[in-house]
């Protein structure tokens, strides 16, 4: 008999609830709300115990005698055979044996005693049946309470997981934002501080020819100045190579400066990728740990619930077996009809 | 370690101080070199200027220079003297220019190193911010 079933979340639940898993919906055993105690028939010399179905009673004292009230005789119950072939076997009327007395006015108390015994057995039977019902009702109540308690624990565990996951997601967002601010600050700095140390250096120009005093003197006295000019040009040409060399050096330095800037920009892109990946990796690890903890908690709760349920079942079965043994003894007296269907019923519908 | 911007500011200040000191010394050295070169050039020009009258007197005593005298020897001597003077002057000017360029290049080197150090500092700052941000997920 299943007292506890699990059902998937019904439609309309949120995505977060669906991710949190299902909440078991217990199907509890509903005990009878009222246990009516059957009225124990009182033994009376004037009121007959109702005959048991199938019971045949003599109507007079022709054979067995009758009470002084001259009531119809109680019927002797047909002996129970329980499916056993009793042909040829002596008839047995437990527990009392007819002593054969009777006749005449007084008569024996056999049937009265038998009715009393049957009434007592019926009362005992009813009591034991009530005990079984009560046992099952208590069991159902216990199982229901157990289910409710563990449901609450599961819900608490799920809620803790959801809260921890939400906090982790919040920290991930904060970390991403913070890292982004750092990256953007670097990008802004590189954009506004392009290296220009060599770029701003002027190129070297060729040597200039300036009239010197000797040329002026020579010009003044009429001496040809061509040799002076040629010498000046020759000297200037020799040193023009130095300017070219300087300009080539400057170009290399400027190109190196530009390459360095490009390298820094590439480094920034790498930094962005690495930092974002690192944040995602840490978040993934944290989320996995939370999930493992959630599953471990749910598993521990399930195991504990099963263990406690087992203990309750054990106790219920032991108690019910004891009651059924007592019932068997009552049935064994033969004073109450034995109904295997109700004796072995597990539904509690006695 | 958690991100501490004050450490970076202290480092930046150190770099700035170092660059400013180097730049100032370089600039002062450049100024001195320019002054020295200009003085040398001026002294040379002055010497040449003083030599011209003596030059004329020397050749005048030998009758190679004077009014109405057109001496080839004198003209060649003047040409050679002028060529030497012009060559020496050009050398002095070129040396001065090259010295100036050398100091300018040194200054540019200092500036380039300073800019590179600042960029490295900013990159380290961004790296540390990212590391601190990732540390939030370990809480």
Q: Over 70: is that where the pLDDT of A25 sits?
A: no
- In this complex, the residue of A215, A239, A279 whose CB is nearest that of residue B134 is A279
More confident residue, A59 or B96: B96
Structure tokens that stand for A19 in this block: 């991710």
Structure tokens that stand for A338 in this block: 């034995």
Say whether B83 and A198 touch across the interface (CB within 8 A). no
Q: Testing the interface with A: which of B19, B82, B104, B124 to mutate, by most A Cβ within 10 A?
A: B82
pLDDT of residue A51: 47
- In this complex, the residue of B84, B87, B129 whose CB is nearest that of residue A179 is B129
**pLDDT, mean of residues A264-278:** 95
Q: Does residue B4 belong to the interface with chain A, where contact is any CB pair within 8 Å?
A: no
Cβ(B115)–Cβ(B6) below 8 Å: no
- In this complex, the residue of A195, A264, A267 whose CB is nearest that of residue B112 is A195
Q: Testing the interface with A: which of B134, B135, B138, B139 to mutate, by most A Cβ within 10 A?
A: B134
Say whether B136 and A178 touch across the interface (CB within 8 A). yes
pLDDT of residue A53: 52
**pLDDT, mean of residues B86-111:** 91
Q: Give the pLDDT band (50/70/90) at residue A230.
A: confident
pLDDT of residue A45: 37
Q: Testing the interface with B: which of A177, A213, A214, A281 to mutate, by most B Cβ within 10 A?
A: A214
More confident residue, A9 or A319: A319
Cβ(A175)–Cβ(B136) below 8 Å: yes
Q: Give the pLDDT band (50/70/90) at residue A177.
A: very high
Say whether B87 and A232 touch across the interface (CB within 8 A). yes
For residue range A75-87, list pLDDT tens digits in order: 444 455 455 555 6
Give the Cα separation of A104 and A87 in Å (integer).
34
Nearest residue on chain A to B96, alpha-carbon basis:
A207
Which percentage of chain A shows pLDDT scores above 90?
Answer: 35
Which residues in chain A are contacts of B125 at CB distance < 8 A? 182, 185-186
For residue range A39-96, list pLDDT tens digits in order: 444 443 333 344 455 555 444 333 333 333 444 444 444 455 455 555 655 544 444 4
Q: Over 50: is that where the pLDDT of A17 sits?
A: no
Q: Over 60: is that where the pLDDT of A166 sits?
A: yes
More confident residue, A182 or B76: A182
How close does chain A come to B24, measured CA to CA in Å? Answer: 15
pLDDT of residue A89: 53
CA distances from A293 to A288, A297, A326 (A): 9, 6, 49
Q: Over 50: is that where the pLDDT of B108 sits?
A: yes
Burial tier of B65 (Cβ tally within 10 Å: 0-12, 13-18, 19+): buried
For chains A and B, count residue pairs whose Cβ atoms are closer than 8 Å: 176
Which residues in chain B are contacts of A182 at CB distance < 8 A? 125-130, 133
SS3 assignment, position A26: strand
Structure tokens that stand for A17 in this block: 């609830």
pLDDT of residue A114: 83
How close does chain A come to B33, measured CA to CA in Å? Answer: 18
Say whether B84 and A286 touch across the interface (CB within 8 A). no
**pLDDT, mean of residues B42-56:** 86
Q: Over 90: is that where the pLDDT of B35 sits?
A: yes
pLDDT of residue A307: 94
How close does chain A come to B27, measured CA to CA in Å? Answer: 14
Give the Cα separation of A338 and A179 in Å (integer).
83
**pLDDT, mean of residues A29-36:** 49
pLDDT of residue A155: 95
- In this complex, the residue of B56, B112, B133 whose CB is nearest that of residue A198 is B112
Which residues, 6+ apart, have CB-to-CB distance to A227 below 8 Å?
B76, B79, B80, B82, B83
Say whether A267 and B123 touch across the interface (CB within 8 A). yes
Q: Does residue B40 belong to the interface with chain A, where contact is any CB pair within 8 Å?
A: no
Of A12-21, A99-108, B83-92, give the lowest mean pLDDT range.
A12-21
Nearest residue on chain A to B104, alpha-carbon basis:
A201
Say whether A212 and B111 touch across the interface (CB within 8 A). no
Burial tier of A5 (Cβ tally within 10 Å: 0-12, 13-18, 19+): exposed
More confident residue, A58 or A134: A134
Say whether A264 and B78 touch across the interface (CB within 8 A). no
State the Cα angle at B29 between B24 and B30, rounded to 5°.
95
Q: Does residue B81 belong to the interface with chain A, where contact is any CB pair within 8 Å?
A: yes
- In this complex, the residue of A190, A214, A279 whose CB is nearest that of residue B86 is A214
Q: Over 70: is that where the pLDDT of B1 sits?
A: no
A132: left (phi over 0), alpha (psi -120 to 50) or beta: alpha
Total length of chain B:
139
Q: How high is the mean pLDDT of chain A? A: 74
More confident residue, A106 or A119: A119
pLDDT of residue A63: 35
Q: Does residue B69 belong to the interface with chain A, where contact is any CB pair within 8 Å?
A: no
Give the Cα separation of B1 and A320 in Å (integer).
68
Q: Give the pLDDT band (50/70/90) at residue A5.
A: very low
pLDDT of residue A85: 56
**pLDDT, mean of residues A187-195:** 95
Q: Over 80: is that where the pLDDT of B74 sits?
A: yes
Say whether A231 and B82 touch across the interface (CB within 8 A). yes
pLDDT of residue B62: 85
Give the Cα separation of A257 and A246 in Å (integer).
16
N-term to C-term CA, chain A = 17
Give the Cα separation of A4 and A145 in Å (integer).
12
Q: Does residue B123 belong to the interface with chain A, where contact is any CB pair within 8 Å?
A: yes
Q: Give the pLDDT band (50/70/90) at residue A125.
A: confident
Give the Cα separation of A279 and A172 in Å (integer).
7
DSSP state of A76: B
How close does chain B come to A273, measured CA to CA in Å? Answer: 11
Which residues in chain B are contacts of A254 at CB distance < 8 A? none
Nearest residue on chain A to B125, alpha-carbon basis:
A182
pLDDT of residue A100: 44
Burial tier of A84 (Cβ tally within 10 Å: 0-12, 13-18, 19+): exposed
pLDDT of residue B17: 95
How close does chain B come to A270, measured CA to CA in Å? Answer: 11
């Amino acid at each position: 008999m299943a007292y506890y079933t699990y059902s998937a979340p019904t439609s309309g639940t949120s995505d977060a609830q669906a991710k949190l898993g299902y909440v078991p919906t217990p199907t509890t055993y509903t005990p009878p709300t009222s246990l009516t105690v059957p009225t124990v028939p009182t033994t009376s010399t004037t009121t007959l115990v109702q005959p048991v179905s199938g019971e045949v009673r003599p109507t007079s004292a022709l054979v067995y005698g009758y009470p002084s009230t001259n009531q119809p005789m109680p019927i002797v119950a047909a002996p129970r055979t329980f499916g056993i072939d009793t042909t040829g076997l002596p008839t047995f009327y437990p527990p009392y044996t007819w002593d054969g007395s009777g006749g005449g006015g007084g008569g024996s108390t056999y049937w009265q005693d038998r009715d009393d015994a049957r009434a007592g057995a019926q009362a005992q039977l009813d009591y034991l049946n009530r005990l079984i019902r009560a046992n099952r009702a208590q069991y159902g109540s216990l199982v229901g309470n157990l289910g409710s308690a563990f449901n609450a624990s599961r819900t608490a565990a799920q809620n803790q997981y959801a809260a921890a996951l939400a906090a982790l997601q919040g920290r991930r967002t904060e970390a991403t934002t913070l890292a982004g601010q750092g990256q953007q600050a670097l990008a802004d700095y590189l954009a506004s501080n392009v290296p220009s140390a060599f770029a701003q250096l002027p190129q070297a120009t060729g040597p200039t020819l300036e009239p010197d005093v000797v040329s002026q003197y020579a010009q003044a006295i009429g001496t040809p100045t061509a040799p002076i000019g040629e010498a000046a040009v020759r000297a200037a040409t020799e040193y023009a190579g130095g300017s070219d060399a300087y300009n080539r050096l400057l170009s290399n330095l400027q190109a190196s400066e530009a390459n360095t800037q490009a390298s820094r920009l590439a480094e920034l892109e790498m930094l962005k990728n690495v930092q974002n990946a690192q944040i995602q990796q840490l978040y993934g690890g944290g989320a996995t740990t939370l999930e493992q903890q959630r599953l471990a908690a749910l598993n521990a709760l399930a195991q504990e619930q099963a263990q406690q349920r087992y203990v309750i079942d054990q106790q219920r079965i032991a108690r019910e077996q004891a009651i059924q043994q007592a019932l068997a003894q009552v049935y064994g007296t033969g004073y109450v009809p034995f109904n295997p269907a109700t004796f072995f019923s597990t539904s509690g519908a006695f | 370690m958690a991100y501490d911007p004050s450490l970076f500011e202290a480092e930046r200040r150190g770099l700035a101080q170092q660059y400013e000191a180097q730049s100032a010394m370089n600039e002062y050295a450049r100024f001195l070199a320019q002054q020295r070169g200009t003085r040398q050039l001026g002294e040379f020009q002055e010497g040449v200027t003083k030599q011209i009258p003596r030059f004329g007197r020397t050749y005048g005593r030998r009758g190679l220079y004077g009014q109405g005298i057109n001496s080839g020897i004198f003209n060649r001597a003047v040409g050679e003297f002028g060529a030497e003077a012009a060559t020496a002057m050009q050398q002095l000017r070129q040396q001065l220019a090259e010295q100036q360029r050398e100091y300018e290049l040194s200054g540019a080197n200092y500036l380039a190193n300073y800019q590179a150090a600042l960029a490295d500092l900013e990159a380290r700052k961004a790296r540390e911010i990212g590391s601190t941000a990732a540390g939030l997920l370990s809480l």
